[in-house]
Amino acid sequence: MRSTDDLKRLHRTYEARFKGWLPTVSGRLSFSVFGYADHPSKVVSANVADGKTRIIICYQKRNLSDSLFGEYFARAFFGLSGKFWFALLARADDCATAEDSPLEGHLFLFHERQLWRKEAEVLVRPAQRDLRAFESMTGSMSLSSYFGSHFTDLASSLASLSSFNARFQTQRDGETLIDIPALSGFSSNSPAFPDDEPQRGHIIHAVTSQLFYFLRDVGHVHQHHNPSTDTVVNLHLFDGKDDLTWRCETLRALYRKVLEYKRRKDVAVYGASLGVLAYAEAFERACNERLNEQITDGSYKVQPIIFKELLEKSITASQWTLNQQTQEGIRQSDTYRNTLISVLTVLLALVGLLQISGPHNNLAKPSETLIWLGNTLLCNPLTSAVFVALIVSLVLHGIGVIDISRWTPVRWMVRFFQAFGKSNAGYSLIVVAAIIGCLTVGYVTSVDLGKVGASVLDIAVRIFNRLF
């Protein structure tokens, strides 16, 4: 345990370092697209380069509230707000010979609306306009000379106003290092952090993670997956020495998400699974390249090791099977619907013919069966439609056009009866069939169901006694 004096000295000079990875399949991030994003809201950005230097200024409003009542009710009744404003100020070398140069800069967080609107935003927006104005300038002045001093002044001003800020460095392969300055140097707008560990470190980690998610969203285009998919890529504490653990944790989280998606039977989720698998393979390659630069024999492999080719084949096969099942289900549904509509149309046409056949003496007298059928359809339209649907289902199933065993109600009934065992399920099905048969007989004929009902009840009692 640390002493009180040690904790105080640590907090006065507190510096935290974190590492994470910005997803990229190509293995090389393009800094020219930073700021052109709209998740979770539209990013206001100025991204300008002159062939030697690139400077980026962007900001975004993000709602981090998880209240069940929504932002309005949380603010009105509990005085809570989940709206925050995030800003990025960064620069990088942009010449063709500096492909591996990182993007370096600052991340800022603001939690007070009035402070952002009246003090911070009025600094950011003019700076963005000045930066964009460089594109229309002619002359020999470089972007670094034009905006260099403004960059430093803006970073200092935003840091003095922000609730939380950090320095970051993002490599072309997505590896990102975030440094938290001493909290004692933060502005008066910063929240009060607890003095006791581990609560202090946990809160700093949580807030820094939000800066990382902002950086990821402004620099990453969600092309092959849902924007919420890559939330699995988290930020990890970095002590400056152990460059292995955070990589293994990140890779394991990516593969865990792939396997989780693989178990779901959904075409879109299978696509997301393949997308995350591509991210995992790209991250693994980038890690091995960087780690092998540090190890002379070049034999190191970041863990865990997965049979990626076989896993991809399995996901693709599952996706193909699900597509086939979906198409077959659509075909059967269309066949059943069209057949049912056709039968009902014929029956309704029959009723219409019966309606006009009575007043005309020259027309032949309809069959008594057809008259009974027409009267039944007119007197009991809903019941008749259900009965016709049942008959059509059984006929189409019998001739192999559809498979009612795939229907959810039928599958549920089968699972329910299977719980009783084969013999008991058979007895139960017999009882259900007898009841349905009696109701059908009573519906289509004039048979007195009194005696029939008594017989069925007697049979049911005997079966119940035998079973229990």
Q: Tell me the per-residue pLDDT of 48-103, one tens digit each, with 9 for 90 and over.
A: 998 889 999 999 999 886 654 555 544 544 445 678 999 999 999 987 666 678 99
pLDDT digits (tens, 9 = 90+) for 113-124: 899 999 999 999
Confidence (pLDDT) at 18: 95
Pairing of strands 53-63, 175-180: unpaired
Highest mean predicted confidence (pLDDT) among 128-132, 378-382, 463-467? 128-132
pLDDT at 345: 78
Q: What digits encode the pLDDT tens for the residues 194-240?
A: 888 888 889 999 999 999 999 999 987 766 556 655 567 899 999 88
Q: What is the pLDDT of residue 304?
A: 77
Query: Which of 124, 122, 116 has the alpha carbon at shortest distance from 154?
Result: 124
| Distance of alpha carbon 406 from alpha carbon 446, whole angstroms | 36
For tokens 């039928």, the residue is 410
pLDDT digits (tens, 9 = 90+) for 244-257: 899 999 999 998 88
pLDDT at 356: 61
Share of the chain above pLDDT 70, in %: 69
Q: Give percent above pLDDT 90 in the chain.
A: 29
Q: What is the mean pLDDT of residues 376-400?
A: 75
**What is the tens place of the pLDDT at every residue in 141-170?**
899 999 999 999 999 999 999 999 999 999
Looking up tokens 């020999």 gives 140
Percentages helix, strand, coil for the chain, rounded to the nearest 5? 60, 10, 30
Rounded Cα distance, 391 and 398, in Å = 10
H or E stretch at 162: none
- Can you give the pTM of this predicted structure? 0.69
Q: Distance between CA atoms of 402 and 407, rounded to whole angstroms?
A: 10
